[in-house]
A and B are shown apart, each in its own frame.
Chain A
Amino acid sequence: MSRALVLVGHGSHLNANSSEPVWRHADTIRSRRLFDEVRVGLWKEEPSLSRVLDGCTADEVFVVPMFISTGYFTKTVVPREMGLTGTTTVRHGQVIRYTPPVGVHDSLANVIVERAREVGAGPDDAVVVLGHGTRRDSDSEKNVYRMADLVRERSLFAEVVAVFLDQEPSMLNMLDLVRAPRVTVVPLFIADGWHVGQTIPDDLSLEGVETRRSGRLVRYSGPVGTHDSLADVILELVEGVPAG
C-alpha cells in the first residue's frame, strides 16, 4: 500500500519566511524515503490546500497541520478547503487521515526545552513559553498552557510560565510573573515570520538573543517550528495515527 504525507500550513502573501519551515521539514522527511510522496499545501501560497491532493495517487494520505494549536484553521479552513469530513475521509478509494496539529503533540515540549537550552537556559532560569493566543477561540490557549505544563513537569528549569501575544497574561508583563534573574523566551510559533521576527522583539524591546533589563537577562530563542527536530515530531504524530 502506497503512503503519502501532506504537510499543510498557513503561508503568507507578504512574508517569504512564513512557509519556509513547512517546506524544509517536508524536504527532510522526503529525504528519509519513508513515504512514496511528501507534499506541501498552503492556505496563502501554492500548492493551495484545495489542490494539493491533485494527482496524488497514494492509497493512504496523512495530512498533518503545521499549526501550533487546534483552532479556526485546523477545524474550519483546512477541512473545508481539502474536503475532509473528519479524522478519516475516504474519497475515490483513497483513505485520507487528518491528524491533530503538530503543535499539540507531547514531543513538542522537547523542542521547547532544546530551544531554551540553545540560547543558554539552565536549571536556575525561568522559561517563558510565548503563544499567540486569541480571544476568539479558547482552544488556542489550552495548548500553550499544556506545553508550559509539560516543560515544567520535566523539572529542568526553576520556573516555567505561559504568556501570550494577543491575550492575558500578556507577554508585556512576563518579568512580573517570574523571579529568576535570567529569563528565556521561547516563541511557540511555526515560522520565523512577522511576529517572531518583528512584532515580539519590538513589543518587548529585545536587542537580539540577549537583552539586559532592570538587572535581569532576557534571552530570546528561535521559534519551535523552525527547529530541525520538528520533523521527528511530525513522524511521531503520523506513527500515532490508529490504523483502520
Chain B
Amino acid sequence: MTGLGEIWIRNVGEGISIGVGEAIERLPSTVPAIRDRVRHDDRGSYRPLSGARGLPAGWHVRISEELPLDAAIEAVYPLATVHRAQFRDGTLRVVSLDEVLDRQSGRYEIASNLSSAGRDLVRSVLCDNVCVRVPVWAGSSPGIDDIPCPEPCSVLVALAREAAIWETARPVATDPDPDVEFAEFDLPGNVLRETYLARAREEQAES
C-alpha cells in the first residue's frame, strides 16, 4: 500500500483502489462522487483548501477504465499529479509569496502590506501546520511521496490580507472555536486566526 497526502492507494486482487481511513463506503467510480465526498470534513464543515489535513474518512473507490488513478487523485488534490511530474522533471513553474501578494488588487491589495515576519508566520500557520502540500515556493523540498505546492493559494492570500490588517490594529485573541468556519479569518475564534495571533504575540514577547 502506498499513499499520497492523506489518501491510501492499494493494489490488491480486485484491482487498484484509493480511499481514506477504513474502507467502509464504496463510492461510484466517478470524479464527481469523489469530489463531493471530500468537499466537507467529518464534522460537516466545508473544506475550501483541498490540501487541508482532515479529509473525511471511511470511503474508498475502485480505479477503472472510466476512472484512471490520476483523475481519482486529482479529484481529491487538484493538480497534484501534474505538479509531482513537473517537479520531478524540473519544469514546475514556481511563484513566490511576494510575487503573489504584489499582484493583488481590490479587496486583497492590502495583503501586500504584510511584513516579512508576518509573511513567514502565515506560511507557518497555514502551510506547515495545516496543509499536506509542501510549499516549494517557500524553499521547502518535497520528498518522493509528497505533493509539491508551486504557488501560494487563495486561502493563504486571504489569511495574509487579514494578517496585514491585524498588524495595524492587533485584535484581542480569544480561544479557538472549531465551529467557526475554516476560512472565516475575520471572526474571533477562527482556529487559524487565533493560532496566528497567539504566535505573533509570542514572537513579539521574545523580541
A interface list, Cβ under 8 A from B: 12-16, 23-24, 27, 43-48, 50-51, 54-55, 72, 76-77, 80
Contacts and interface: CB of A to CB of B under 8 A. Distances in A.
B82 A46 contact: no
A54 B32 contact: no
Classify chain B's interface size. Answer: 20 to 34
Contacts of A51: 79, 150-151
B32 A44 contact: no
21 contacts: A12-B48, A14-B183, A14-B184, A15-B46, A16-B46, A23-B32, A24-B32, A44-B154, A46-B78, A47-B79, A48-B153, A48-B154, A50-B95, A51-B79, A51-B151, A54-B79, A54-B86, A54-B93, A76-B106, A77-B106, A80-B103
Contacts of B204: none
Interface in B18-46: 31-32, 35, 39-40, 46
Nearest to A81: B103
A55 B106 contact: no
A45 B48 contact: yes
A13 B106 contact: no
A55 B154 contact: no
A170 to B, nearest CB: 23
B85 A55 contact: yes
Pick the 6 closest A-B CB pairs, nearest first: A13-B183, A55-B82, A46-B78, A13-B48, A47-B78, A16-B46
B57 to A, nearest CB: 19
Given A50-B95, A54-B83, A55-B86, A16 B39 contact: yes
Contacts of A12: 48
A50 B151 contact: yes
Chain A contact residues: helix, strand, loop or mixed = loop
Interface in B65-112: 78-79, 82-83, 85-86, 93, 95, 103, 105-106
Contacts of B173: none
A43 B182 CA distance: 17
A74 B33 CA distance: 30
Contact of B32 (A16, A27, A45): A27
A14 B103 contact: no
A23 B184 contact: no
Contacts of A13: 48, 154-155, 158, 182-183
Nearest to A52: B79
B181 interface: yes
Contacts of A76: 105-106
Contacts of B153: 46, 48
B90 to A, nearest CB: 14
A77 B48 CA distance: 19
A44 B93 contact: no
Contacts of B40: 16
B70 to A, nearest CB: 10
Contacts of B95: 50
Nearest to A80: B103
Contacts of A77: 105-106
Given A46-B153, A50-B151, A14 B79 contact: no
A47 B74 CA distance: 10
B113 interface: no
A175 to B, nearest CB: 33
B130 to A, nearest CB: 14
A77 B155 CA distance: 16
B102 to A, nearest CB: 11
Contacts of A48: 151, 153-154
A51 B153 CA distance: 10
A84 B151 CA distance: 18
